[in-house]
Every structure is written in structure tokens, then in C-alpha cells.
Structure 1
């Protein structure tokens, strides 16, 4: 059986040559990142870098390496007008004007998993640029304006999951560095028996989230009348990948330890691209069970939000809790 390649899929999309080139550059760079991640200690990529990022988080060496790889590759693409990374304070504008697209990315989501050899990934959002010489405010577009969203997950197999607004497809990386279609028309079941949340923080959540999770934990003896399994990988890209593959719900809510912060995850680098993928796969993606993430008007490049996404019926149950 001959599987379609990602290159062939991109070439067949009803998009312009500029977006084709952006997606091709991202896919090629993710394949290169996969090799670096797999090399680990053998290529000197393990451990802390000794630097802090704009989020006041200690950067791993791989955070820095992968951020540099994506930034350099995208800024060298003529279709790119500018890029923004979770790891950098400000957006970077391409030196050669004329690009039509903006790319925002989390170069290595879940980097705390690196030292234990658990899954990590790359998340990318693509927007149209309002001008060939954008300013930082031009990046602050609601998620519904995304023209593409994708992630790569580096696990037992490396997979790239992509949407350009017409469904979701998954591609697996072959040994020769090419991506081939392995998951066509990915769809999230509206029903699930799995949920992903860090229950150790339960006492800090808002009352509605606590009631919802308490109902899940009571299983068949509780109001839901069925047993649930909890899953938590501590990398959004891995938890959302599981949802896209077999259903489920992922929640990273507001909590009272930092009451002035609306959430932990970043709207532009994590919330928006994952929300587009989840909605395109038939699920729901909200800040609180009600407000769609894709409708949030960004106010800051590194804005944080609460996240609840996955199987539609469970998001509705959270909203009603």
C-alpha cells in the first residue's frame, strides 16, 4: 500500500503557494527536531540551559535548541513576515519584507518531560499578516483567523497532526525523514470515559470545576453513572493527541494560587492552535466550558487562559456543573 505523503497533501490543498511553503518548512523542521530530541544525551541536548524565558521558567537546552531551529527556518522562508515564540519576549519581524504569514509556536511543549523520556512536542499556529511589515499588534488576532494549526508529538512514533480548516489529518515520520498519511479524517467521539487534569490541584479550582471532577471521580456510584479513567502526561501536546486519537477531555483551569492570572497555558501558542484542531475534529474547545477559545480577543502576546477541550458532551457537562 502506497500512502500519500505530507508533501503531496500540502500540494493538493486549496491554499496559496505561500502557505504551502510555510507548512513545508515547519514539517521539515519538526522532522529535524525529532532527530535532536531522539538523540538526547548522546548529542548533548539534555539538562538545563541556565537561562530563564519570558515566562520566568527555566529553559531546558532543548527549549533553546528547538526555538532556534524553528525561528531560523521560518524567518528564512520568503512567505513569513514575522514569528513569535513562547520562549521569547517579543515577536521577530523578517528582515526581507513581503511575507504574507505570521507563525507563532511553542517549540518544545512539555519540556519538563525530557529528562524522563516522556512525550514532548511542537505546536504551531499560522495567521495571515495584515501587512508585509507587521508590528507586534498584528499578531494579536483571534484564533478563528488562523489559516493553519499543527503539532508534532515526539513519542514512540513521531506524528504531525494538521488542519487548514477542512478537517484534521495525521502523518507519521518515516525513517527516511518523510511524513506519510496514517490517520485520515480524525474525529473526536462526543462521548468519553477518560479525562486529563492534575487532580493534586483540586482544592485550588473554582467550585464548578471541583463539582465536575468530583462527579467523574465518583464513577458509576456518582451522578454520571459510569466509571472514568484519569490520564495526565504533563505535556499538553501529548494529552490533546490522546484526545484526538481516542476521545477524552483535557482541563487546565484557573486556580486560586495565582488568582490574578486567568490560567497557566498560553492563548497564542497553545490554546488557539489546539482549539482549532479540536473543533475541526468535532470536539469543543473553551476557556470554561462555555466561551470558545477561538473567540477570545488576544490582548498580549503571552496572554494566559484556562483551557477545557475535548469530547463535546463532556465540555457541555463541565459548563453545567
Structure 2
């Protein structure tokens, strides 16, 4: 374990080659510190509960959804290195600076249904290269492979940051005394095998046959074709479920289902799937829709949805083969 702080890490990794990218990441994480403070106050600050209106996704927003979204937009739109930004909470992208080097996409508060019960939530972010002097909507339509950085901040018993700049995955823990993120694990690796899976089984009747087959095999345990016992975990916060996989392995599924034909793939490609899949692949795992590698998908809309299967490579490959 290193005592290296995030600013020191960014200086070592990007300071000479990509100082503007380092500064963009620093700005995002500074916003996350403010969101963390708001979460720590909780009901005392009057930030819990519903905002009583819906976002562009048709989801009822929590008060802290709006607060965290505004915090990130206000800080990033004035950043000299950012040409434009896009939020899961807003229908259109937000223009930033002319000649900005980067585009930032984010889910300001993933798992916000957990806020009122004091469970884990997080912020997910993705950084893409800017394409034009003045950013247009189509500039965001880049494959996940083009991301130059991605990560999340998980607000839990410890506030943690997972980050990749295309050279592996590093985990940081927020030191409340230093008020800095400090490296607590480098070169994170996901085991190819696992006995742990995460899926919302209440949707089983809506899944396609390959996913039903896979989950049935896991539930059959020692008596089934997999001949071993599996444990199921589900936090209802993608950040927490992915953090568990980075920490101790596993596989996460939010598969194609027929419950709502308009949302057959539930997770947002640009704000959730791409950044998380980059982290998983950089840690040696795999990520697909069940049929194709997610980081190869060419986006067509800002709020495109996709099925997601990611984590332990052998499990993901098996699920893909079933399709």
C-alpha cells in the first residue's frame, strides 16, 4: 500500500504528457468530496427524499440527484480543458469551453434509491477526447474504447475512488484527516473464476433463455452442472456491485429483458456501461451485452441503453457462449 495521494498519482501518471486530463480528473473528484459531505449530513441538511419530479429517463429524482448534478455541472462547464459535458439527468449535453480537450459524461448519483436508507451510492464518470473546436452532440458518439479515463467514487463506510487512465486500475480511499484520496490498492486484478454473482432475480420471468439457463445452473449448486455452490449479492447500486467485483471478484448481470420493450437494456451505455466496462477490462475482466463486447458499441444517442454482463472472464465468456 502506498501513501501516494491522488494529486501526486496524477502528476506521476499524466503531469508531463496530459496535464489537462489530470486537472479534469482532479476537478471531478473535488466535486465528489462536496457530494460526500452532503451525504454525511443526510437528513440534518434536509437533502433526503424525493424532489417530486422526473428526469429525462422517466425516473423520479431524489433531492440529492439534483444537488450532485448541479455541483458537477457548475464546476465542469467553466473548466478550461472541457469542451462539453453530459449528464444522465439531463436530456441535452451542456456546452463548455471552445477548444476544450475533453468531454465528460457522468451519472451524478448512481443508486440514489439507496439514499434514504443510508446505503451505498456513487458517482460514475467517463472522459472522452473532444473532437471539434465547438462541441456538438455527435462528438459524444464515441465507442467506449476511446475513453481516456473512467472511474467512480463510492460513498460508503469509507469513501473510495476507482480510477483508470488506460494503464490498469487503482483504488484510492478518502483520508478525512488529509482531505485527500490516498492509494490503497494498485494494479487491481479480477480472478477469472468466481462463486459469486449479482443479478436482480425478480426479473427472471422476463429474461431471455440463455440468462435463465445460466442462473438456473448457478442455483443448482453442487448437484448441478457447475458442481459448486454460488452466492448471490445485489446492492441496487452499480457502483457498489462493481466495487465488490474489483475487490474480491464475481460477475454482474443486468441482462436484456422483455419487462419494458422500450428499456430492454436497462443501463445507460455512455454514463454507466462504458466507464464500468473500461475499469473491468483494465482489471483483467470481461464485459459484453451477452452478444457483443460493450466497448466496441458505436453509440447512436446520448441516452442509449444496453444489457450488461461483466466481471470474471470465464463466467462472462460462458454467458456469451450461451447466447
CA offset at residue 260 of structure 1?
4.2
Cα offset for 1:51?
1.8
Maintained 8 Å contact 2:98/2:135: no
Q: Secondary structure at the match of 1:13?
A: helix
Residue of structure 1 equivalent to 2:203: 201
Q: Secondary structure at the match of 1:54?
A: coil
Shift of 1:2: 6.4
> Using a 3 Å threshold, how does the CA distance of structure 1 residues 201 and 25 change in structure 2: closer, same or farther?
same
Deviation string, structure 1 residues 225-274 (Cα, Å, up to 9, x no partner):
10000000001111010000000000001111123433110000000000
Quote the residue 1:109 is aligned against: 110
Equivalent residue, structure 1, for 2:5: 5
Which secondary structure state, in structure 2, belongs to the residue aligned with residue 254 of structure 1? coil
CA distance in 1, matches of 2:201, 2:98: 48
Q: Does 1:98 align with 2:99?
A: yes
Deviation of 1:132 after TM superposition, in Å, equals 2.4
Q: Are the equivalent residues in 1 in contact too, given 2:106–2:125 (CA < 8 A)?
A: yes
Q: TM-score, normalised by structure 2?
A: 0.97
> Of residues 187, 210, 226 in structure 2, which corresponds to 1:224?
226
Aligned to 1:124: 125
Cα gap change, 1:38 to 1:142, in 2 (>3 Å): same
The match for 1:287 among 282, 289, 300 is 289
Q: Distance in 1 between matches of 2:285 and 2:2?
A: 30
Offset, 1:320: 2.6
Greater alpha carbon shift after TM alignment, 96-105 vs 118-127: 96-105
Residues in 2 aligned to 1:219 and 1:155: alpha-carbon distance in whole angstroms: 32
Aligned to 1:268: 270
Give the whole-Å Cα distance in 2 for the aligned partners of 1:257 and 1:202.
10
Aligned partners of 1:215, 1:200: CA distance in 2, in Å?
A: 17
> TM-score, normalising length from structure 1?
0.97
Q: Is the 8 A contact 2:121 2:239 kept in 1?
A: yes
Q: What corresponds to 1:297 in structure 2?
A: 298
- Contact 1:21 / 1:77 at 8 angstroms: preserved in 2? no
Q: Note the alpha carbon deviations across 1:155-187, whole angstroms, 9 max, x for none.
A: 000000000000000000011321100011111
Instruction: Compute the RMSD of aligned alpha carbons.
Output: 1.1
> CA–CA distance in 2 between the matches of 1:220 and 1:313?
18
Which residues of structure 2 form unaligned runs of 5+? none
| Aligned counterpart, 2:145 | 144
